[in-house]
Amino acid sequence: MPHITLHRLVLTGAAATLLAIASGGLVTATMSGAACPGWPFCTDGLELHAGPAAWIAAGHRIAVLLAALLALLGAVFAWRAPALEPWARLPLLLAPLLGMLQTGLGALIVQLRLFGAADVWHLALALLVLACQVVPLAVLAQPRAETGRLGGRAARETRRLRSLTWWTAGAAGVLTLALSARAAAAPVASAATLLPANTFGALAMAGVLATGTFWQTWRARRGDRLLVGMAALLAALIAAESLALLLPPAAAGFGVGLGALVWSTALVLAVLAARRPAPVAVPAPRAESRPERPSLVSDYLSLTKPRVISLLLVTTLAAMYITEAGAPSLWLVFWTMVGGYLAAGGAGAINCAFDRDIDINMGRTSRRPVPSGRIAPRSAFIFGLVLSLLAVVVLFVFTTPLAALFAGLGVIYYALFYTRWLKRSTWQNIIIGGGAGAIPPLVGWTAVTGNLSLAAVVLFAIIFYWTPPHFWALALVKQKDYARAGVPMLPVVAGEVETRWQILVYSALMVALTGLLTVIGAMGWVYLVAAALLGAVFMRYAWNTWRRGDQPSIWGLYKYSLLYLALLFAAMALDRAIL
């Protein structure tokens, strides 16, 4: 019975916080806070302010007060229930403290007239309060289930789902903050200028992740109606959010409330995915097991190396949103992404055609379509060439000639210069060949601006210096495969100790380069803080790799390097959106 009472209390508190966030978005979009110069009442001395704007601001403050009282009451209940699970108890105890900070910041915004960017930080604290109510709500609703040990495909799909749900929750939070920045700009902007500004990138990222989450939920847990339903609801809410962007500027604040609802739904889905029982894989008898042959379509799709392309497109998209030209149009983003995928996919297919003799001798590549004989090398080469030519045409027609030129150079650099010569002839293959993976940001930048700048060159340099520690970590793990295939990777030629030292050196150079964007004025302090934190974690992994050299340290560096680059470019877009 106490848990039922607490469950209802937390649910009511979360609803009150959602109401406070939605009304706060309306206050921001209409600048109603200026109509209530006093705090907490709408008074100026002894004079009581009235009017629609004053009533909007007063209603928001009443909603904040109600949410704060309910958060405090939830903390009291949690304090009196020490047996409550930590994931439910600790957030509830933290919620009123964050609420006090959020309320205090709101008072400062009104008293000191810190409207605009300060409203975004005000919302960020409110989202943390909401998270401290929503997460316990999901925990109380779903006690952790004990299941047997997962194995095989079921284990991989479940891990992928849990990781993807948390990524989607993070994207939902970024989206809500971007919507708050849009609401803050509403009083001085038109609907036409608000639509692309600062929000499309966040909306696209959240939409892609939500769609992927739904697909992954269907693949891994299609029998769990609750999880599938929550994933479908999340995708529908983000679709509704895209329609809310069409509202006039004065109504921009309503999108903030919807964004907070998206954030809540994503958090609940992430918690449920981690706690609900997963199906235990039951291995079939050996006699009945039949390896599934991939379809021809999936084989040709795998030639484009979609997992690699996803990271390249993240850097391309982020570069489009940090130029001095402002936020790009939706069509420009769409065609740049299409052209970027075609170029990278074409280069990947040509690489598969040329590397068939190497791939067949390596465990991680021997099952690719070309070395396994499912696709002929000539067919793979023609497929890659067609995709590459289409990429140049698409980018030339729909973006800028310079973007098309860089995409074409990227294909030649990777498919010919790196694959046919560098990879087979020198241990510096990754150092010099890193330029191929550093071209996508230049494509995104020039697609928007039509020219290069110092900031674009720094983006190129960051990825150029990121590539060696990223790839050498993989080469350390797979050095026997490279030796068997006759590829002169650094671990094969110079040994493990030298490779680990070079990883540390290039990691330090890369982290130093990330700060240069702020030095030249291309990025602000939000990016600088994020880059410093992400870089510190990267250096910790690189240091452990150098000092220890064990497999967990090396694999940790390799996996984190992928996450690092995506988060670094996301921080660039967030910095430009906020500042």
Cβ neighbours, 10 Å, residue 148? 11
pTM above 0.75, yes or no: no
User: Would you state the pLDDT for residue 308?
Assistant: 82
Extract the tokens encoding 575: 């910095």
Q: Counting runs of H as helices and runs of E as strands, what totals does the chain give? A: 25, 2
pLDDT (tens digit per residue) in 330-386: 889 889 999 999 999 999 999 999 988 888 888 778 788 888 888 898 999 999 999
Residue 44 host element (H or E): strand 43-44
- Give residue 225's pLDDT band: very low, low, confident or very high (50, 70, 90): confident
The residue assigned the tokens 């401290």 is 132
> How far is it, in rounded angstroms, from Cα 20 to Cα 123?
10
User: Residue 318 pLDDT > 70, yes or no?
Assistant: yes
Extract the tokens encoding 433: 């060949």
User: Would you state the pLDDT for residue 246?
Assistant: 65
3-state DSSP assignment of residue 387: helix
Question: Which of 77-91, 290-304, 364-378, 413-427 is predicted with the least confidence, judged by mean pLDDT?
Answer: 290-304
Amino acid at 538: F
> How far is it, in rounded angstroms, from Cα 555 to Cα 201?
31
What does the pLDDT average to over 221-242? 84
Report CA Rg, the chain: 26
**Region 296-452: CATH code:** 1.10.357.140
3-state DSSP assignment of residue 388: helix
Question: Which of 21-30, 378-387, 567-576 is predicted with the least confidence, judged by mean pLDDT?
Answer: 21-30
Residue 43 host element (H or E): strand 43-44
Amino acid at 435: G
Cis bond upstream, residue 468 (ω within 30): no
Cβ pair 98, 65 in contact under 8 A: no
Q: How many CA atoms lie within 13 A of 454 on its CB side?
A: 9
Question: Residues 412-437, buried b or exposed e (16+ Cβ, 10 A)?
Answer: ebbbebbbeebbbeebebbbbbbbbb
> How far is it, in rounded angstroms, from Cα 474 to Cα 549?
13
Domain residue limits, the chain = 1-143, 157-171+184-277, 296-452, 463-579
